[in-house]
Structure 1
Amino acid sequence: MNPAADTDLDRALPPQVSVVVPMYDEEAVIGMFVDRLRPVLDDLGQTYEVVVVDDGSRDTTPALLEKARRDWAELRVIRLRANAGHQAALSAGLMRARGAWVATIDADLQDPPETIAAMLEAAREQSADVVYGVRNDRTTDSAFKRLTANAYYRMIRRLVGHHVPADAGDFRLMSRATVDAVNRLPAQNRVLRLVVPALGFPSAQVEYRREERAAGTTKYPLSRMIRLTVDSLTGFSIAPLRLATYFGLGGAAVTALLLAIAVVAFVTDHTLPGWTSTFVVVAAVGTLQLLCLGLLGEYVGRLYTQLQGRPTYHIAYDSVEWDSEQN
């Protein structure tokens, strides 16, 4: 039997496990991440692939990934032409992952790779299509990060539904059926931590302690956190649109009260000329109108983007396709 033919056959068959890893300017952590992830996957005793999506990095991340790929045949590198964002990079990886089970994890090592084995075990024991990594200890995060994260999940669970697990980010394991369902959905402005629970597939949870970032700096500053929150709200709930109705009803009630006060003041001859109250009322009404218009604009903008059908990312390089062309 030809060993080379066996190797080609193994590569042609879909692996049992795929691990999708989005990366953006992660040169400081790549070596540590590879050293942690590879032993975990080797010990599974199953065929696997690691799909790293380089989200338009500006540092030496692409070169370091190519170096790691020389010594790790299961490592597949996909490079986007420009930075498309964390969720878009995850989507690109899910589209190319071939495994029967697909795990998604960030490269900063805040989510321990060792938990993947526990996720696979939970999926099989509980017949679950999705296993969420739930953070049961976030003491390594700053007080501001914990406060904003808690507020985000409380708000999302209240507006979208309690099917969204609390403190579950983008560290999860999904079956092939789940990944295929996600890939069939529109890709614009998707928030996977809400998309996956909305499918309603059987799920389980594995708790873990969130670690400190191993190296480098966070790629989720306050501006991106706000953008994620806006996408989450406008993409999965019409509650913000109802604010316009609530503001209108509240404004009508306040107007009726002010009218009654004005009539009483006129009848009792207690009216006084003044501009302060008029200015405050006009400014308040104008602010509410602008807020409602802004909310409507967010929804109209999402519809416009969806109708355009523009891709959320462009792939510049895929190591598997490159190797096939060279051979």
Structure 2
Amino acid sequence: METITVVVPCYNEEDVLKSFYNEMIKVASEIENVDFEILFIDDGSKDKTLSIIKNYSMIDSRVKYISFSRNFGKEAAIYAGLKAAIGDYVVIIDADLQHPPRLIKDMYYGIAKEGYDSVAAYRKDRTGESKIRAFFSRAFFKLASKITKLEFREGEEDYRMMNRKFVDAVLSIKEKNRFTKGIFQWVGFNVKWIEHENINRVAGNSKWSIFKLFTYSLDGIIGFSTVPLIISSFLGLILCLISTILGIYLIIKGISTNSVISSSLISILVTLLISGVQLFLFGILGQYLGKVYLEIKERPLYIIKDQKILVNKDIEINEEFKV
């Protein structure tokens, strides 16, 4: 039979795992003639997340897990899950039930019956979220689409099902600084979109602060576009023009009015203008240089401390790596 691997990145999710597991078992029972593999990726949790997952793996052979030596981030967890997944179809889903598991059935139908390579979910509204968070989210998707020339959909999530061809294409991209939403768009293929209502977490708190979301968005734009570098060049040119025009204006004004303009005031204004723009430009360049620096180090994206996975449908591996 065909197999669906459900990849579940987890970080301190002890409060939601029971509800999530029960929902997944219900969904698995509703899809006939398909095997399920539930692959939890413990991203260095500090609570009882890993022990709960291990307990499920002992009572349910479909439950597998990979545990990192520390918190490496969701992008690393997604990559590890895709790499270890054995399924003919692979789903990425959050454990907090903000991604409704019931959609997996529709996703499977879209790929297996309708011929799509991937079926992705998006939230049709931001009901229940703060206005500031919703505003920045909408702004990011619009800005990212224009700058990167990739077709981001407002409200899109990491929640999607992919066939093996799509998964292999994503894994073929070896960069360390990963922005999965951008990679999904970049590889192309035929994608079907399905919408759902915004759902609040069943328990616990979100691990994504506004600052983390901002830096994550910045990584995504920098990783898929050189437009910020072009903007920095234009800003430098504009600064030169402003400085030239300002200098000519002050000379003409001084001659025509026969007045003395404070040289200290002029120096302060020009210095502040130039310094501010330079810092901004250096910041953009620094982001790109930083990404290159991290890539050439060739550090692993994650380190596995413990795991129980399948390398194929017949051989099970359960081993611990000391780090």
- TM-score tier after normalising by the smaller chain length: over 0.9
Within 2, Cα distance between the matches of 1:191 and 1:99?
23
Residues 13-162 of structure 1 mapped to structure 2, 5 A cutoff: 15-45=2-32, 46-162=34-150
* Map of 1:7 onto structure 2: none
* 1:106 Cα offset (Å): 0.5
- SS for the counterpart of 2:90 is strand
Q: Distance in 1 between matches of 2:78 and 2:120?
A: 16
Q: What is the CA–CA distance in structure 1 between the aligned matches of 2:261 and 2:180, rounded to whole Å?
A: 58
Q: Aligned letter for 2:20?
A: F
Aligned partners of 2:308 and 2:318 also within 8 Å: no
Which shows bigger deviation, 271-280 or 46-55?
271-280
Partner of 1:287: 276
Alignment: residue pair count:
313
Query: Do the aligned residues in 2 keep the contact of 1:91 with 1:187 (CA within 8 Å)?
Result: no
> Which residue of structure 2 aligns with residue 219 of structure 1?
207
Which stretches of structure 1, 4 residues or more, deviate above 6 A after TM superposition?
Answer: none
CA offset at residue 262 of structure 1? 1.7
Q: Is the 8 A contact 2:307 2:318 kept in 1?
A: no
Given that 1:130 and 1:175 are in contact with CA atoms closer than 8 Å, whether structure 2 keeps it comes out as yes
SS in 1 for 2:309: helix
Normalized against structure 2, the TM-score is what?
0.92
CA distance in 2, matches of 1:57, 1:325: 19
Any stretches of 5+ residues in structure 2 without a counterpart? none
Which whole-Å deviations, capped at 9, do the CAs of 1:206-248 have from their partners, x for residues lacking one?
1111200110111111232122012111101111111221111
In structure 2, relative to structure 1, the CA distance for the partners of 1:174 and 1:183 (3 Å cut) is same
Give the whole-Å Cα distance in 1 for the aligned partners of 2:45 and 2:28.
Answer: 25
Helix, strand or coil at the partner of 2:96: coil
CA distance in 1, matches of 2:24, 2:317: 26
Amino acid at match of 2:22: D
Give the C-alpha shift of residue 122 in structure 1.
Answer: 2.0
CA offsets 1:226-280 (integer angstroms, 9 cap, x no match)? 2201211110111111122111121122122212212212321133224233212
Aligned to 1:313: 302
Given residue 31 of structure 1, which amino acid in structure 2 is its aligned partner?
A: K
Q: Assess, with a 3 A threshold, how the Cα gap between structure 1 residues 31 and 325 changes in structure 2: closer, same or farther.
A: closer
Whole-Å separation in 2 of the counterparts to 1:291 and 1:108: 38
CA distance in 1: counterparts of 2:318 and 2:303, whole angstroms: 19
